[in-house]
A and B are shown apart, each in its own frame.
Chain A
């Protein structure tokens, strides 16, 4: 689905502020995968994802979406890619501009040149996906709460019905409930549409709870790209990169070090509960 070859990008070439943000990235993301992207601030996550929908042109290297080389083929490919790969930037609510929620969500589909009927269908579907009620469609997006604005903005990208949905910190700055809601909506979207999803996040909990595989960025390079358990198994390396593993994993690593016969490969509360039940069950049946 997404493939990069020696992808490199340098900002401000020829000025005193020249800096290489990503260097020699070679990754392959499978269709239908749910990938978590983690990395320390400034590790090149945002620069990397901005390449996937042809917003940034690589300084060197290639990027292929569905087998199409974005920058060697004609312009039409790149325009189509904007719609095939939906990119939700950080704080997407800052991009809202229309008078009504309906018009704002319809902005993308309208740019695709769809019919009015199809636009209407997509706006309502996207609104359902992010879990907002139809009654807000005629409201001004600027009258909504922060969490609602965020969801409207995400719906604006979902309405493109992209084959790949990329979200840069979609839950940043939201309260725990808003956070859980947005992430579970995205999970549903992934399950129902079978699209490829990339989630950039600083929260290891969010990553472990949602994604199938993880891409780790470090100093502009791709340090790891593997399944959740393989990545979180390399705890020491992650900590050296200024990253972390989920809290529950730390608890189980500590338990193991104290001599309890538990697995280290516990990444969510549910897995932890199951592992503890197994342990307690083995110890004696008085609790069961």
Chain B
């Protein structure tokens, strides 16, 4: 059941999108989000949608997987739509019917606009994580944020912490599943009773999970020290990234879409 969450998951592959440089992918996603928030009208979404279509087509990951992940965000989407409709101004959509008076043209338009924006936002960022392994992602972040070192921000340490956190999410999910099963085997019941009972029923899961997380942390720290890890200073790379023609093609497309949208904003 915990394994049904697809947000933030990585699907290994060898497609065009997979083989883009992670630094470029991160940069492109950033530009994509900027473009998405600049979009002035529905025509703008067509440009972004076309771009997203290319990503889907050249990533080898079907939209079905993404939409399964979207299910868990349905609440946010409905919530946003609901308030946009409520607080929208303008003329009533159905002037003849009085009890639908709150349904205003402007509100519905805004709601639709927000829904499309949220879905495109999730799609874009989802495809980043679907096609880039967590390690590559944080690696790319570390490099893009390297200039911040001047401000004494510990970029390497932050990136390492993020890598470790991401790396251990699946491990801890597995562990949780195992503990749940072990307690179920002793007759633990997580599904019935009132909220207090259910909260109490979590204790036999949370305590073993916490203990195992600490144990893993200690073991990992020992293992890293055994390999002489001492932070980022003077550390060389196993994988050295370099931009290829793919990256430049992708960047060109992104910049074209961005300029098109900027033109839409101006005129």
- Measured CB to CB, the residues of A under 8 A from B are 12, 14-16, 50, 53, 55, 79, 82-83, 86-89, 92, 94-97, 107-108, 111-112, 142, 156-157, 160
Contact = CB atoms under 8 A, between A and B. Distances in A.
Interface string B139-182: 00000000000000000000000000000000000010011011
Contacts of A86: 185
A87 B183 CA distance: 10
Given A15-B65, A16-B11, A89-B178, A94 B212 contact: yes
Closest 6 CB pairs of A and B: A111-B187, A108-B186, A95-B182, A97-B207, A87-B185, A97-B204
Contacts of A12: 3
Contacts of B175: 94
13 contacts: A12-B3, A16-B65, A50-B181, A55-B181, A55-B184, A82-B184, A82-B187, A89-B178, A89-B182, A94-B211, A95-B182, A95-B208, A97-B207
A157 B186 contact: yes
Interface of B: 3, 6, 11, 65, 68, 175, 178-179, 181-189, 203-204, 207-208, 211-212
A8 B216 CA distance: 34
B173 to A, nearest CB: 13
A83 B183 CA distance: 12
A133 B163 CA distance: 45
Contacts of B3: 12
B235 to A, nearest CB: 33
Contacts, number: 60
Contacts of B189: 111
Contacts of B185: 53, 55, 82, 86-89, 157
B186 A160 contact: yes
A86 B182 CA distance: 10
A125 B179 CA distance: 25
Contact of B183 (A50, A95, A142): A95
Given A53-B185, A82-B186, A95-B182, 20 more contacts: A14-B68, A16-B11, A16-B65, A50-B181, A55-B181, A55-B185, A82-B185, A89-B178, A94-B175, A94-B179, A94-B182, A94-B211, A95-B183, A95-B204, A96-B208, A97-B203, A111-B186, A111-B187, A157-B186, A160-B187
Contacts of A89: 178, 181-182, 185
Contacts of A97: 203-204, 207-208
A87 B187 CA distance: 11
Contacts of A111: 186-189
A10 to B, nearest CB: 13
Contacts of B179: 94-95
Given A12-B3, A108-B187, A92 B182 contact: yes
Given A89-B178, A94-B178, A107-B204, A142 B211 contact: yes
A95 B186 CA distance: 10
A16 to B, nearest CB: 6
Nearest to B9: A15
A79 B188 CA distance: 10
Contacts of B6: 15
A57 to B, nearest CB: 12
Nearest to B175: A94
A21 B122 CA distance: 33
B248 to A, nearest CB: 29
A154 B189 CA distance: 20
B189 to A, nearest CB: 7
Contacts of B11: 16
A219 to B, nearest CB: 22
A156 B187 CA distance: 11
A20 B208 CA distance: 29
A156 B186 contact: yes
B187 A112 contact: yes
A63 to B, nearest CB: 16
Given A16-B11, A94-B179, A94-B212, A107 B186 contact: yes
Contacts of B212: 94
Contacts of A53: 185
Nearest to A80: B187
Contacts of B182: 89, 92, 94-95
Nearest to A113: B187
Nearest to A105: B186
Contacts of A83: 187
